Amino acid sequence: MPLTDKSRKRSIRTAVTLASALLPVLLGSVILYLQAERTLQQSARLTAEEALKQFDLMLDNTSQAARELLPLAGKSCTDVELALREQVTRRPFVRSTNLLWDNAIYCSSLFGNYHEKLTHTDFVDNRLLLIKGNPITPDTALLIYRLNVGEGGAMSTLDGYHLSNVLRMIGHHTLLILQVGPNWLSADGQFHEGAAQDFPVANSRLESSHYPFGVKAGFPAGETWRYMSSEYPPLFSLLIFFGAASGVIGHFLQKRTSSPTHEMKRALEAMEFVPYFQAVVHGDSKKLSGVEVLMRWNHPKEGLVRPDLFIPFAEHTGLIVPMTRSLMQQTAALLGPLSSSFQAPFHIGINITANHCQNFDLVQDCRAFLEAFAPGSIYLVLELTERELIEPTALTHQLFEQLHDLGVKIAIDDFGTGHSSLGYLRQFNVDFLKIDQSFVAMIGIDTLSSHILESIIELAAKLELALVAEGVETQAQSDYLSEHNVNFLQGYLYGRPIPGTEFINALSDH
Ligand code: G
Ligand code: G
Ligand code: MN
């Protein structure tokens, strides 16, 4: 393949292989990450629900004490002191009970007859208050439940120790806090003022429907990755396996798709094989007599590729046939519209190979080609190289007959380098001999080559075949060939092979 920059191709291929390996791993990781987030979200919610239920139960029990004591509010402390203590003993979470009158405690389970103005009056929903501690245990948070009727009231307090225990035990791996109005309690038993911040991962907040408090559950930053690394190693191994498999598949698929045949078929469909035109001039007047169509591969990455690099392969695979067809169609589309302005029949040379002579498709291709031109405005010349001669069979005999009937001319290309016999030249109805460039290059340099050249010229004259000299580069060669009556000249001296549009511009300039 004509691939000049192999290392770049290889690095692209490596990149594609890597991408096909990484893609499943990355996609899978994203899915696992989302799954882990979902799992943590559910876990946080369940934990919050569990804690809420537990706190509701504890408050049910505690509030019951206040409810039972409320009718005693206003009564003499000495008479009801025992009832207050009984509630404390009977109820597991109740630490103390109090009776109130006119927003002041007048009776307490701890001190009996006692007087203290209430310092906190900002109970949430008039019922619940979380405080940092009281004068007896200033560092243990307390949750106070209060009931009021008129001036009388009853309070029961719940020890923060029990609350933080619940937060710790239910929370386990989950971070959990209890929020009561503007204050909150963390699992370490610490009292905090202000609203608690949201947790970085899977934050979940629930409010009790019975009491004015809420709980918040969640996880510290980075928990999703920690969870994945502890729970998903088997899935990760599977992902890596899939990644490796997909990488291997990607690698082989690429190898397949970049096979030369595939690449050339792609190029054919993409119309990357384009015609270049090289002028052929009359030997005497040096006026333009026609062109030879030379194929070029306009490769998107490799640039312009010379035919010697891909034609042998195209011949080997038989792709040369559709490639030449495309070349003929493009040439017809370019030159056809100009044909009415051609004065003498314009020679258009197309190179064909033995592949073209295996069936009659070539006749159809030539007919379609000729139809694109004004009648009689061109000679279509098929150039057959002498390097590999076409075997004369019944089929080829018929084929060349039909081509002849169509008015198609035949040229033997690279003449002098092979060994075509007179019988061969006659059998294929040859019209032109194209003298190989190697003989032209030796004019005035090598006497033996000059002799061969002269014999070719004589032979052509005897057989009444027109002669074309190829590879004319110097004025001396041109003069020599004109003196020897060579009919047509082709070479850099008159013009290099140029793209279609350029050739048309040059044509219309003349
Ligand atoms: O165009 P360039 O100068 O590179 O030509 C190199 C060789 O490729 C020449 O031998 C020429 O005959 C051959 N070649 C160019 N175009 C075609 C084509 O369309 N078909 C075939 N079979 N050979 C071609
Ligand atoms: O089909 P054929 O093998 O005749 O193709 C002609 C070949 O000769 C093409 O490769 C074309 O580019 C090349 N060519 C045409 N004119 C000249 C020239 O003057 N000098 C040299 N060196 N090559 C030429
Ligand atoms: Mn040729």
Any idea which of 39-43, 54-58, 350-354, 389-393 has the lowest mean pLDDT? 389-393
Closest of 190, 219, 182, 191 to residue 204, by C-alpha: 219
Q: Is 492 in the pocket of ligand 2 (CB under 6 A)?
A: yes
Q: What is the mean pLDDT of the chain?
A: 92
Output 7 or 200, whichever has higher pLDDT.
Answer: 200
- Given a cut of 60, is residue 251 above it in pLDDT? yes
What average pLDDT score do residues 435-450 get? Answer: 89
- Given a cut of 70, is residue 5 above it in pLDDT? no
What average pLDDT score do residues 466-473 get? Answer: 96
Closest of 175, 83, 180 to residue 125, by C-alpha: 180
Q: Which residues contact 128 (CB under 8 A, 6 or more apart)?
A: 59, 143, 144, 145, 146, 180, 181, 211, 212, 213
Quote the pLDDT of residue 257: 66
Distance CA(201)–CA(210), nearest Å, equals 28
Q: Report the largest interatomic distance among the alpha carbons of the chain, rounded to a whole angstrom.
A: 153
| Residue % of the chain over a pLDDT of 70 | 97
What average pLDDT score do residues 446-460 get? Answer: 88
- Given a cut of 70, is residue 3 above it in pLDDT? no
Quote the pLDDT of residue 13: 84
- Given a cut of 80, is residue 483 above it in pLDDT? yes
- Given a cut of 70, is residue 454 above it in pLDDT? yes
Quote the pLDDT of residue 341: 87
CA dihedral (48, 52, 55, 56) in degrees, to 10, reads -170
Check the CA dihedral 53-59-63-64 and report its sign.
positive
- Summarised one tens digit per residue, pLDDT across range 186-211 is 999 999 998 888 999 999 999 999 99
Assign residue 102 a region: left if phi > 0, alpha if psi is -120 to 50, beta otherwise?
Answer: left
- Given a cut of 60, is residue 8 above it in pLDDT? yes
Distance 433 CA to ligand 3 centre (A): 11
Which DSSP string do the residues of 385-401 spell out, in sequence order?
ESSSPPP--HHHHHHHH
Write the CA distances from 205 to 44, 370, 460, integer angstroms.
9, 84, 103
Long-range contacts (CB closer than 8 Å, 24 or more residues apart) made by 340-346? 340/374, 340/377, 342/374, 342/377, 342/378, 344/289, 345/376, 345/377, 345/378, 345/379, 346/289, 346/290, 346/291, 346/377, 346/378, 346/379
Distance 350 CA to ligand 3 centre (A): 7
Contact 40, 72 (CB under 8 A): no
Q: Is 497 in the pocket of ligand 2 (CB under 6 A)?
A: yes
Closest of 227, 245, 267, 270 to residue 38, by C-alpha: 227
Q: Give the nearest ligand 1 atom to 350 CA.
A: 19
DSSP-based three-state secondary structure for 460: helix
Exposed, middle or buried: residue 287 (CB in 10 Å: 0-12, 13-18, 19+)?
exposed
Q: How many helices (H) and strands (E) does the chain have?
A: 15, 21
Pocket test for ligand 1, best of 291, 351, 362, 468 (most atoms within 8 A of CB): 351
Pocket test for ligand 1, best of 291, 294, 355 (most atoms within 8 A of CB): 294
Distance 349 CA to ligand 3 centre (A): 7
Residue nearest to atom 23 of ligand 2 (CA): 471
Output 105 or 10, whichever has higher pLDDT.
Answer: 105
Write the CA distances from 206 to 10, 46, 177, 192, 198, integer angstroms.
58, 10, 11, 19, 12
Q: Is 436 in the pocket of ligand 2 (CB under 6 A)?
A: no
Quote the pLDDT of residue 436: 94
pLDDT confidence tier of residue 388, bands split at 50, 70 and 90: confident
- Summarised one tens digit per residue, pLDDT across range 25-80 is 999 999 999 999 999 999 999 999 999 999 999 999 999 999 999 999 999 999 99
**Residue 56 carries which DSSP code?**
H
- Summarised one tens digit per residue, pLDDT across range 410-440 is 999 999 888 888 888 888 889 999 999 999 9
Output 276 or 259, whichever has higher pLDDT.
Answer: 276
Residue ranges of domains in the chain, CATH in brackets: 17-225 (no CATH), 270-509 (3.20.20.450)
Distance 350 CA to ligand 1 centre (A): 9
The predicted model scores a pTM of 0.59
DSSP-based three-state secondary structure for 330: helix
Distance CA(375)–CA(373), nearest Å, equals 6
- Summarised one tens digit per residue, pLDDT across range 284-328 is 999 999 999 999 999 998 899 999 999 999 999 999 999 999 999
